[in-house]
Structure 1
Amino acid sequence: MSSLHGRKILLGVCGSIAAYKSAALVRLLVKAGAEVQVILTTSAAAFITPLTLSTLSKKPVLTGFLKNEATGEWHNHVALGLWADALLIAPASANTLAQLAHGHCPSLLAAVYLSARCPVLLAPAMDLDMFQHPATKENLRLLRSYGNYIFDSPAGELASGLEGPGRMQEPEQIVAELEEFFGK
């Protein structure tokens, strides 16, 4: 039995071309027996639809603070952070990494991160120059210093045509590392 069986995983999906990989990631997590709740940033919805992710996770995808504007019903970021066994952000864009590193809270995902008591795992995904920029390197250093786990970003061909680090790890590798993380 997988060490992910019965685990509650919050999956944050950020605006990156690598967001298409989140569908396979959800599928693999569910197949391993995890309960997956997806939080999709506004910019991520340009790359992958809530319908795809909700179908695979078998849960409505959360996209903002409000559940129902007419009634003022909201998604409780504190409750979400307490519910989860892990917060996995994959892909984690340069923008989101900067927000999290500096405590900015413009989205439901950032609010959940700031209130989460569970382990946080981040899978960066961006173009080569963004990944190698000193600000991004500093944000990753800060996030590690807060106790977050940062997945390696393998080198390879990027969407821009450049070659180098910045790719999001493949979903199979992320799930394998998560299983190892929970197996300890």
Structure 2
Amino acid sequence: MAKSVRRVVLGVTGSIAAYKTPQLVRGLVKKGAEVRCVLTPSAEHFVSPLSLATVSRHPVARAMFDPALWEMAHLSLASWADLVLIAPATADFMSRLAQGRASGLLDTLVLSTKSPVVVCPAMDAEMWEHPATQANVARIKEYGYRVLGPEKGELASGKIGFGRLLDPDEIVRSVLK
């Protein structure tokens, strides 16, 4: 990512690895990035909007149409961002990206942006290795999206394998270099 990238939209999907996102936001902010977070409904089971609002110093976008705002969040955030970072990205969300679906705020935002998109997968090893997931990863790479990870390590299931979200500090180094 070029040094001119200072505005990051962080999209958080419904993976247990979402608990690492406050550390990711804090790392991006410490390096000088302004971060706006978007949570999918599933992500809210693993990380709170309040936690992310606190470390980002911005309200968290959670719905396509917020009655408190006059603007459409997907369009305003898509044009605001220098980078859209999806971390963690579930198999389901990567499937939606590969299909070009626009069923929620985050996938609609991705379809609306002209900024680079970086996807950081997190899931169990069997899901990561499944041919459908690998086909979806290949497809989103064809769209020009950059995929970081996953890495091998202990997974939420207790198993060791590929599917673990990259360490937040590694993600920060990779996207802000």
Partner of 2:9: 10
Q: Which runs of 5+ in 2 are unaligned?
A: none
Show the counterpart of 1:52. Answer: 51
Pick from 128, 150, 163 the counterpart of residue 160 of structure 2.
163
**C-alpha contact (below 8 Å) 1:92/1:122 kept by paired residues:** yes
Structure 1 segments unaligned to the other structure (5+ residues)? none
Matching residue of 1:101: 98
CA RMSD of aligned residues (A): 1.5
In 2, distance between residues paired with 1:154 and 1:72? 39
Which residue of structure 2 aligns with residue 67 of structure 1?
Answer: 66
Contact in 2 for aligned 1:6/1:33 (Cα 8 Å)? no
3-state SS of 1:166 partner: strand
Indicate yes or no: 2:137 matched with 1:140.
yes
Structure 1 segments of 4 or more deviating over 2 A? 3-6, 71-76
TM-score, normalised on structure 1? 0.91
Name the SS of the counterpart of 1:67 in structure 2.
coil
Q: Are 1:78 and 2:75 matched, yes or no? A: yes
TM-score scaled by length of structure 2: 0.95
Secondary structure at the aligned position of 1:112 is classed as helix
Q: Does 1:124 align with 2:121?
A: yes
**Contact 2:5 2:82 (8 Å CA) reproduced:** no
Q: Structure 1 pair 124/168, CA: closer, same or farther in 2 (3 Å)?
A: same
> Structure 1 pair 24/5, CA: closer, same or farther in 2 (3 Å)?
farther
Q: In structure 2, give the amino acid aligned to 1:63.
A: R
1:105-156 Cα deviation digits (max 9, x unpaired)? 1110000000110000000000111111111000000000111100021111
